[in-house]
Structures are given as structure tokens and as C-alpha cells.
Amino acid sequence: MIVDERFITYINSLDSGNTKLLEEIEAEALRTDVPVIRKETQACLKLFLTLKKPKRILEVGTAVGFSAIFMKTYNPTECTVTTIENYEKRIPIARTNFRRAGMEDAITLVEGDATQVLQQLDGTYDLIFMDAAKGQYIHFLPHVMRLLQKDGMLISDNILQDGDIIESRYAVIRRNRTIHRRMRRYLYELTHHEQLVTAVFPVGDGITVSSKKA
């Protein structure tokens, strides 16, 4: 827990909630141990969508489709969402959820390894939401920079690793050390990239919000 749990409980108690379908999908995901973006992160994402009003959104990491539907629902302007997922068991669940939401024409799910898929995509996106394997963020970054339009927004979730990111690599469980090293490198790249202005927020499990300079 990055922020005192009492603060999080209070902040989340102020949340006005989501649509009935989103609440159902979130509950189903949590019952089956599928991670979805945390409540406080959802609130921030609603704000950024309202401010940015992106027409083309790219998501790296679909899971069961909650966040793709969330972004389409709370974006105040018409938009399309392209989302990438490699875990075969979750793909049919995501497709079913897109049909439940009546968004199968607006949300395109691309199956495959994100590194390969990102190389094949063309055009640019107003908003890119990174919510996939944390150890791969640094490998996705060059492709994301190519696809992010000028003045575009990059939001990366789960960047503080439940607080592990501030620990010495030797204080981190051995199996997590590679992810720890790569995420630290990713954060350094974001905050020192000459084309980006980046802020790091201790919200949920940590998010970064980056804007590509015009």
C-alpha cells in the first residue's frame, strides 16, 4: 500500500460509481482474480479523458476489457479504441464484454504479443494507456513514442509495484528483481525523455502521465 489505506477508503467513498455494466464486469473480474484498474486510478482516468477528449485511443493490455469499455464510456467525444492482449484465456471474455457493451464496432481487439503488434500499427493516437506486463514497458516505449501524436498523452499504470520501486534491488524478492530494474529504467526514461513532460503520481499502484511535446 503506497498511501495510507484510510485515505484511500475515504477517497473511494466519494466516488460516484460507474455504469451498471462496468460495475458488473469489475465484480466478475475481481471474483476470478483478474486485475482491473483501481478505483482511485479510475477517477484520474475519467478526469484525463474529460480534459484530453481523445479521438483515437490505444491500450496495451486488455485483460477482460474493463478499461477499454471504461475509456469509451467516459470519453466525452466519439472515439475508437484499439486494445492489445496476448493471454488467450482472457481474449474471448473481453470480446464478450465488448458485445455486452454494444461497443464491438468501436473497440478493436488485436491479439498477439504487444511488442510485435506495436511494430505493425500505423497512424497516431491521442491517448495511449499502458497496462500490461510491467517488465515490458521499457521495451514498448520506442514503439509507443512513434505512435503517440504530438500533444498526445501517455498514461502508464502500476508503476510503483506496491511500493517495491523505492526499495534496493536486494530488498526485492529475487523473482521480481528484473521487473524492478526495468521499471526503474522506464521511469527514468519517461522523466528524462526530451520529447516528454512526465509527472509521477502515487495513485492506486502508481501512474505516470506524460505529454508529448509539440
Going from N- to C-terminal start, the domains of the chain cover 5-212
Say yes or no to pLDDT of 128 above 80: yes
Does the pLDDT of residue 157 top 60, yes or no?
yes
**pLDDT beyond 80 at 171:** no
- Given a cut of 90, whether residue 168 has pLDDT beyond it is no
Which residues make Cβ contacts (< 8 Å) with residue 165, sequence separation at least 6?
A: 159, 180, 183, 184, 187, 206
**202 in Cβ contact with 160 (< 8 Å):** yes
pTM confidence score: 0.94
Residue 167 pLDDT: 65
Q: Is 4 annotated as a binding residue?
A: no
Query: What are the CA-CA distances from residue 37 to residues 42, 128, 146, 169 (Å)?
Result: 6, 15, 25, 26
Query: What integer best gives the mean pLDDT of the chain?
Result: 92
pLDDT tens profile 139-155: 999 999 999 999 999 99
CATH of 5-212, one of 3.40.50.410, 1.20.1740.10, 3.90.1150.10, 3.40.50.150: 3.40.50.150
Residue 170: band (very low, low, confident or very high) from pLDDT cuts 50, 70, 90: low
Is 157 among the annotated ligand-binding positions?
A: yes
How confident is the model at residue 39, as a pLDDT? 93
* β-bridge pairing 207-212 and 80-85: unpaired
Helices marked H in the chain: 5-13, 20-31, 39-52, 66-74, 91-100, 114-120, 137-147, 177-192
Q: Is the pLDDT of residue 72 over 60?
A: yes
Q: Is 156 annotated as a binding residue?
A: no
| Model pLDDT, residue 116 | 96
Q: Is residue 179 over pLDDT 90? A: no
pLDDT for 162: 62
pLDDT digits (tens, 9 = 90+) for 27-49: 999 999 999 999 999 999 999 99
Q: What is the mean pLDDT of residues 81-107?
A: 97
Tell me: is residue 85 an annotated ligand-binding position: yes
Does the pLDDT at position 62 exceed 80? yes
Interval 9-18 mean pLDDT: 92
CB-based contact 12:40 (threshold 8 Å): yes
pLDDT over threshold 70, residue 172: no
Residue 86 annotated as binding site: no
Q: Assess whether pLDDT exceeds 80 at residue 1.
A: no
**Separation of alpha carbons 85 and 53, rounded Å:** 24
Q: Which residue type does 2 have?
A: I
How large is the average pLDDT for residues 99-118? 97
